[in-house]
Structure 1
């Protein structure tokens, strides 16, 4: 009976030891094997692996991208302006052994180091940049330089920095109102310039329109005068031609027109002698039906 119990205990111990000899590396993990606290080897390929039970220890590290959000920092730019910068960093552990030797087992150890590295890199790069570069399409260039500096410093901890980004860049509260006032003044100046340019263009357009109007009226009056002169000349020519053909009839017709204009309203008064040449055709009325005027 005692032999059976002893054999069972030995078998259970063997099974327990065998179970402790195997471990699995997940696809999102990489592990460091230590023996009595000393690093032995690194396993980065996923799958089933073997270790010495009770002697060797498996320390897993995440191989995925990890993130670190840095607190807001006040930074002085190259134009001596102050801004508050919030940044975040994306990194991954590439050397578990170096990470273990310099930082430790947990990720909390790297956060303090990343905070100082990111802050110093931000201050170093932004100290030579203008505010417009940080807030314009030049930001990728600025962030690329910051990422390069952070990555160079972080490699000695066994990590690789994939990206560093500025999430927010705000002016301090005491400077915001002054900046807003300057922006408002600048917008008002631009508006005044635009209005002045518009008034100048409007005056130029009105002057051009007035000049064109004057030229058109002058040309129209000149053409009208030419047409009137031509008409009068033609009328004179027609009258002259008519007078040349039958001077007596023309003189008679003109006299009849004068009679109509003078006596048409019935209120005209003329003081002339009967022998006046104006009444010549009244004295020369021809005989009608053989009758003669009284002598």
Structure 2
């Protein structure tokens, strides 16, 4: 039992050695083992690992998604408008050794992501007009930026999941002028739509008038044809009725003329040579 007093000391020493000679990689972590600042191994699976005390150092990286708000930046659109954008991205470390060798730390990663995102954002937004960026095509534009950023970030052991614009504002000095131009453009488009509508209305009215004229002309032609046929039949009937006695027909026509010309109470003097007297004298 003479060693009993030193047993607690031995246990403490062993525990101390265990603490400085081992490390644990958690399920949501990866790690890089370094010697004098140079990487010698990487660990991407959870478990207990060993190291040489005071020679090896361990750098841990999280496997969780990291949301990073990039600094505000000013870009120029395709229609030469200045735009101040705030964006963010979601990313995580997928290759700890490459990450350590290229950017070394999260601070280095943030700086590099700032450069990559700003470069791709500037290039992509520079292809589009202000209206497209703030309204129509934002989703398509950001999908393109995400794809381009993701490809470049792979060089640093980083996987990009999403890049988005949080806010897009005009510089204070340009805001009123741009709003005025946007209003003017909208009014121009509205005027164009109204003009096109009036033009179409005139075309429709002209077409209607033309169709109306054609219908009326056809109707008049049909009426005249019917009238002509009717007059022909009437003449034919008269001809058949009076052809046996032409003189009587002539007399009847004369009476019709006098009936149309003379009114009641009118005195009218006729020569005895008139056709009416001839009929009265001869009886035929």
1:14 Cα deviation after fit:
3.6
**Counterpart of 2:129?**
131
SS of structure 1 residue aligned to 2:176: helix
Contact 1:134 1:142 in 2 (8 A): no
Unaligned segments of structure 2, at least 5 residues: none
1:189 Cα deviation after fit:
2.3
1:23 Cα deviation after fit:
4.2
Q: Distance in 2 between matches of 1:162 and 1:21?
A: 35
1:45-91 deviation digits (Å, cap 9, x = unpaired): 22333445787554422133333210211123465432112222333
Q: How many residues align?
A: 273
Q: Distance in 2 between matches of 1:10 and 1:142?
A: 60
Give the alignment partner of residue 165 of structure 1, picking from 156, 163, 166.
Answer: 163
Q: Distance in 2 between matches of 1:78 and 1:225?
A: 69
The alignment status of 1:229 with 2:259, answered yes or no, reads: no
1:203 Cα deviation after fit:
2.8
Contact 1:31 1:58 in 2 (8 A): yes
Larger Rg: 1
**Aligned pairs for 1:1-295 within 5 A:** 3-11=3-11, 13-14=13-14, 17-18=17-18, 23-34=23-34, 39-51=39-51, 58-77=58-77, 80-97=80-97, 99-100=99-100, 107-120=106-119, 122-123=121-122, 125=123, 129-131=127-129, 135=133, 136=137, 137=140, 140-149=143-152, 151-152=154-155, 155=156, 159-163=157-161, 165-167=163-165, 168-245=167-244, 268=265, 277=276
Contact 1:87 1:164 in 2 (8 A): no
Cα pair distance change 1:22/1:83, threshold 3 Å: same
Q: Distance in 2 between matches of 1:10 and 1:82?
A: 70
1:171-214 deviation digits (Å, cap 9, x = unpaired): 32332322222222222223333333333333333333333333
Q: Distance in 1 between matches of 2:54 and 2:145?
A: 51
Root-mean-square deviation (Å):
4.6
Unaligned segments of structure 1, at least 5 residues: 285-295
Cα pair distance change 1:84/1:227, threshold 3 Å: same
1:29 Cα deviation after fit:
0.9
Contact 1:36 1:55 in 2 (8 A): yes
Q: Distance in 2 between matches of 1:7 and 1:24?
A: 27
SS of structure 1 residue aligned to 2:87: strand
1:234 Cα deviation after fit:
1.6
Contact 1:89 1:161 in 2 (8 A): no
1:231 Cα deviation after fit:
1.8
Q: Distance in 2 between matches of 1:114 and 1:149?
A: 9
Cα pair distance change 1:151/1:216, threshold 3 Å: same
1:235 Cα deviation after fit:
1.7
TM-score by length of 2: 0.68
Cα pair distance change 1:188/1:49, threshold 3 Å: same
